[in-house]
Homo-oligomer: A and B are copies of this chain.
Amino acid sequence: MRRIFFLFAATFLAGLSPLHAETLPLPDGVVAFDSPAGEALFLGAEARQDYFQLSMHFVTQDNPAFCGPASMAMVLNAIGAPRPASKMTLGLGLFDQTNVFTPATEAVKPSADILKAGMTLDEFGGMLKAHDLTVEVRHAGETSLDDFRKVAAQTLEDGDRFIVVNYLRKAIGQEAGGHISPLGAYDEDTDRFLILDVTRYKYPPVWVGAAALYDAMNTPDSDNGGKTRGYVVVGR
């Protein structure tokens, strides 16, 4: 019933917004990347260096539990980590949502378990560490909005680190549970971050207020012993 309602709502509201004809309606206070306002925010963003590297590797999560592996693939490609060989032209490879799993990441959490239940913030950080990256995991409850904003804005503008957020969708008015996606940019004038949402069948990338995003990270994760969600800063 719930499913049918949302499908109906999506179909109905889609008529009002041809560009997102097949995604869910966005809640108030969240700005779509591909709207006039969203585009203007990007063009006037004070920190957007990471967008260019990440957007080149933007992917859709392969299944409803794989927001973490999708975000991992984007960051590993963007950061220039050595890529797995493949059968592509000249043997050139890319990280994807299959080859991000290695014996070292399986020891953190088996991919079969991630397929069933996704991953927590700590598991996500552990998976990136298993790829020999430098990882800082921050639970929202152990930091503050001001610290998050400062770290995130700096990371988005530097050349060698990326930031990925773990937040509760319903806290920003979206459907519905815990989610993981990289940040792409920060607009200081409106105090908004751009989330490169890997659930591309569901929502476009969105600009969300820093406080709203922080509050959505500062929510307890029952899969993680009630610890709050938060963010990961990753470098080489």
Name A residues whose Cβ lies closer than 8 Å to a Cβ of B: 3, 6-7, 10, 18-24, 33-34, 38-39, 43, 52-53, 55-60, 63-64, 77, 80, 82-83, 86-94, 96, 175, 199-202, 204-205
Which of B22, B33, B86, B204 is close to A82, meaning CB atoms less than 8 Å apart? B22
Q: Are A22 and B90 in touch, CB under 8 angstroms?
A: no
- Contact check, B34 vs A92: say whether CB atoms are below 8 A apart: no
Give, as a whole number of angstroms, the nearest-CB distance from A65 to chain B. 10
Contact of A89 among B86, B92, B94, B175 (CB under 8 A): B175
Given contacts A55-B58, A56-B33, contact A21 B201 (CB under 8 A): no
Q: Which residue of B lies closest to A85 (CB)?
A: B7
Query: Closest B-chain residue to A42, C-beta based?
Result: B52
Is B53 in contact with A83, judged by CB distance below 8 angstroms? no
- In the bound assembly, the distance between CA atoms of A88 and B203 in angstroms comes to 13
Known: A19-B80, A22-B82, A80-B19. Contact between A56 and B204, CB under 8 A? yes
**In the assembly, what is the distance between CA of A72 and CA of B109, in Å?**
36
6 further A-B contacts with Cβ under 8 Å, apart from A24-B90, A64-B88, A92-B201, are A7-B90, A18-B80, A22-B82, A43-B43, A58-B58, A92-B202
Q: Can you offer 28 A-B residue contacts whose CB atoms are under 8 A?
A: A10-B92, A18-B80, A19-B80, A22-B82, A22-B92, A23-B92, A24-B90, A24-B92, A34-B52, A34-B53, A38-B52, A55-B58, A56-B58, A56-B204, A56-B205, A57-B200, A58-B58, A59-B59, A59-B60, A60-B96, A63-B88, A83-B201, A86-B201, A89-B175, A89-B199, A89-B201, A92-B202, A94-B200
> Given that A18-B80, A58-B56, A80-B18 are contacting pairs, would A89 and B202 also be in contact in the complex, using a CB cutoff of 8 Å?
yes
Q: Give CA–CA (A39, B22) in the complex, Å.
A: 30
Q: Are B80's CB and A52's CB within 8 A?
A: no
Contacts of A80 in B (CB 8 A): 18-22
**A92 to chain B: closest CB distance in Å?**
4
Report B-chain residues with C-beta under 8 Å of the C-beta of A63: 87-88
B39 touches A52 (CB 8 A): yes
- Expressed in whole angstroms, the minimum distance between the Cβ of A98 and any Cβ of chain B is 12
Question: Which listed residue, B22, B56, B93, touches A34 by the CB 8 Å rule?
Answer: B56
